[in-house]
Copies of this chain bind each other. A is one copy, B any other.
Amino acid sequence: VTRRAFVGATLVDGTGAAPLPAAAVVVDGERIAWVGRAADLGGDVEVVDVSGLHLLPGLLDANVHLVLNCDPDVLLRYEPGAYDELVLEAAQVTLRAGVTTVFDTWGPLEALRRVRDRIDAGEAVGSRIRCAGNIIGNDGPWSTDFFPPYGQALNPDVVARVNAHWEQGVGAELTWLPAEGVREAVRQYLETSGVDLVKYASSAHREGRFVALAPDAQRAIVEEAHAAGLTVQACTQTPEALKLALEAGVDLLAHGANTGPSPMPDDLVELIAERGVGCGVCLTTRRHVEAARVVPGNYGRMLDAAGQNVDALLAAGARLTLATDAGVFGVDWERSPWVGGLAAGVPDTPLHLGTAHVLWFRAAAERELGLRGLQAATRDVAEAYGLGAELGTVEAGKRADLVVLDGDPLRDPGAYERVVHVVKDGVLVDRGRLPERPVLTREVL
């Protein structure tokens, strides 16, 4: 196999260096062999001419849910195939869009693991998946932690069976236990589950406002995760839940700028920055924030508070990362009881993988984040997950994950929609074929 060079583009390498015009990147097998000026390129390489375009590291999304539409018509219909086809479709939707690595922080573990392994082994095409399985301490999608109406309308045996794909023995029953009981359950989970990362519920999920797991239980989980060599992150929705997670020693925050209707106190802002945890943020555009203000309920106030938190975290130098929390939905998603109520009618809702990160970059541009915005979606995610040596920048020796855009993303966030090439592990992706077998993204029946 010969080596292949992408030649002529302006390189934004993710290291923080200034863009390099007329650059060349040489890929050898799965890795980047050389980076430099096109003029200096030599040797026996197959040249791909990308003049006039911009070349970036493959993007990393710190928080996705490859299976997020949990309506019964989805979870029941695709249960026989164990959701593998949903996971694969989603991983191809993201790859096509240039997001070469996704961190799935809540989903049906067996399917995620199987598809992850097939992609890693080169048997399937898709974004690199790293997955957490359950949010420890939460029950499954049809429980009171997420969307109780389904649990009331369906056969309880079926509800329990579907929820179990998520719960994996570390669900809400842990919140009844003493901390040592939680530790024991988590240890067993980590020994057998094959997860890549650990996430737990510091806030309860649905109501948002409670502490799900007590401080000692949180510490026990962090210790077990670290003993297993894994990063650990928390779901937090209130200032106090955020503080507990930091005190417990988490490495990342799933959506660290979300603190409910009031912004976080200054000492918390500083603590996040000081600890250097990876702080996932769901940036939203002004258009979205303004429309949300007139929606009944708390959503507008929460977005405002989150916006203030982001400003403060940026000023304090916290390590913010792209974390869309997005998934894949069908054409009828606005009428879905599951997500429709959240999002119907508010423009720029960043709910859909493949476009949610573009909305994030638009919001980043509104805040003039510049290079920092790009790094938040590349290098900083990789480092927060302890993968900085392999992923996140265009440097010799790293995995060859590249995106080529038609436009300058530092000036025009719309460039992220104009993907020309995606390279993952050195392979030039045939984007036009993706997703190979559309499921939710095809027209319904």
* Residue ranges of A at the interface with B (Cβ–Cβ < 8 Å): 71-73, 76-77, 79-80, 144, 149-150, 152-158, 161, 172, 175-181, 204, 207-217, 238-241, 243-244, 260-262, 264-265, 268, 332, 335-337, 340, 444-445
Q: How far is the CB of A201 from chain B (nearest CB, A)?
A: 9
Closest-CB distance, A145 to chain B (whole angstroms): 9
Which chain B residue has the least Cβ–Cβ distance from A145? B207
Contact residue among B76, B340, B444 (Cβ-Cβ distance under 8 Å from A77) = B76
Query: Are A79 and B445 in contact, with the CB atoms below 8 A?
Result: yes
Among the listed B156, B175, B179, which residue makes an inter-chain contact with A209, where contact means beta carbons less than 8 Å apart?
A: B175
Given A238-B175, A239-B178, A445-B161, A153-B155 contact (CB < 8 Å): no
* Chain B positions within 8 Å of A76 at CB level: 72-73, 76-77
Are A204 and B210 in contact, with the CB atoms below 8 A?
yes
In the complex, the answer to whether B154 meets A71 with C-beta atoms within 8 Å is yes
Contact of A153 (CB < 8 Å), options: B80, B150, B238: B150
Residues of B within 8 A of A336 (CB): 155
Q: Is there contact, CB below 8 Å, between B209 and A176?
A: yes
Contacts of A211 in B (CB 8 A): 210-214
- CB <8 Å contact, B262 and A73: no
Decide: A80 near B77, CB < 8 A? Known: A175-B210, A176-B262.
yes
Q: Determine the chain B residues whose CB is within 8 A of the CB of A79 once the complex forms.
A: 77, 445
CA distance A120 to B18 in the complex (A): 75
Could you tell me the distance in whole angstroms from the C-beta of A151 to the nearest C-beta in chain B? Answer: 9
Residues of B within 8 A of A445 (CB): 79-80, 161
**Nearest opposing residue in chain B for A156, CB measure:** B335
Contacts of A73 in B (CB 8 A): 72, 76, 154-155, 158
Contact B240 A217 (CB under 8 A): yes
Contacts of A155 in B (CB 8 A): 71, 73, 332, 335-337, 340
| Interchain CB contact under 8 A, B262 and A177 | yes
Instruction: Specify which chain B residues have a CB less than 8 angstroms from the CB of A210 in the assembled complex.
Output: 175, 204, 210-212
What's the Cα separation between A175 and B238 when bound, in Å?
Answer: 8
CA of A180 to CA of B262, assembled, Å: 13
Contact of A335 among B149, B153, B157 (CB under 8 A): B157
Task: Give the docked Cα–Cα distance between A340 and B144 (Å).
Answer: 22
Q: Report the separation of the CA atoms of residues A215 and B144 in the bound assembly, to the nearest whole angstrom.
A: 24
Nearest CB on B from A239, distance (A): 4
Separation of A265 and B212 alpha carbons in the complex (Å): 20
Contact A154/B337 with A172-B209, A210-B211, A261-B176 known, Cβ cut-off 8 Å: yes
Q: Whole-angstrom distance between the alpha carbons of A72 and B340 in the complex? A: 20
- Whether A264 and B71, one on each chain, are in contact in the complex, defined by CB atoms closer than 8 angstroms, is no
- Given the known interface contacts A155-B337, A262-B181, A335-B157, the answer about A215 and B239 at a Cβ–Cβ threshold of 8 Å is no
The reply to whether A152 and B154 contact each other, CB–CB distance below 8 Å, is no
Additional 12 contacts, C-beta under 8 A, given A72-B76, A153-B153, A178-B243: A72-B72, A72-B154, A72-B158, A73-B76, A73-B154, A79-B445, A156-B335, A157-B444, A158-B332, A177-B240, A210-B212, A214-B238
In the complex the two chains form, what is the Cα distance from A176 to B301 in whole Å? 12
CB within 8 Å for A178 and B265 given contacts A240-B217, A332-B155: yes
Cα–Cα, bound, A337→B144 (Å): 18
Q: Which residues of B contact A268 (CB under 8 A)?
A: 178
Assess A153 versus B157: contact at CB under 8 Å? Given A76-B77, A172-B209. no
With a cutoff of 8 Å between Cβ atoms, the chain B residues found around residue A444 in the complex are 157, 161
A333: nearest residue on chain B (CB-CB)? B155
Q: Which residue of B lies closest to A181 (CB)?
A: B262
Which 10 pairs between the two chains have the least Cβ-Cβ distance? A214-B240, A153-B153, A211-B211, A210-B210, A175-B209, A76-B76, A176-B260, A178-B239, A157-B332, A73-B158
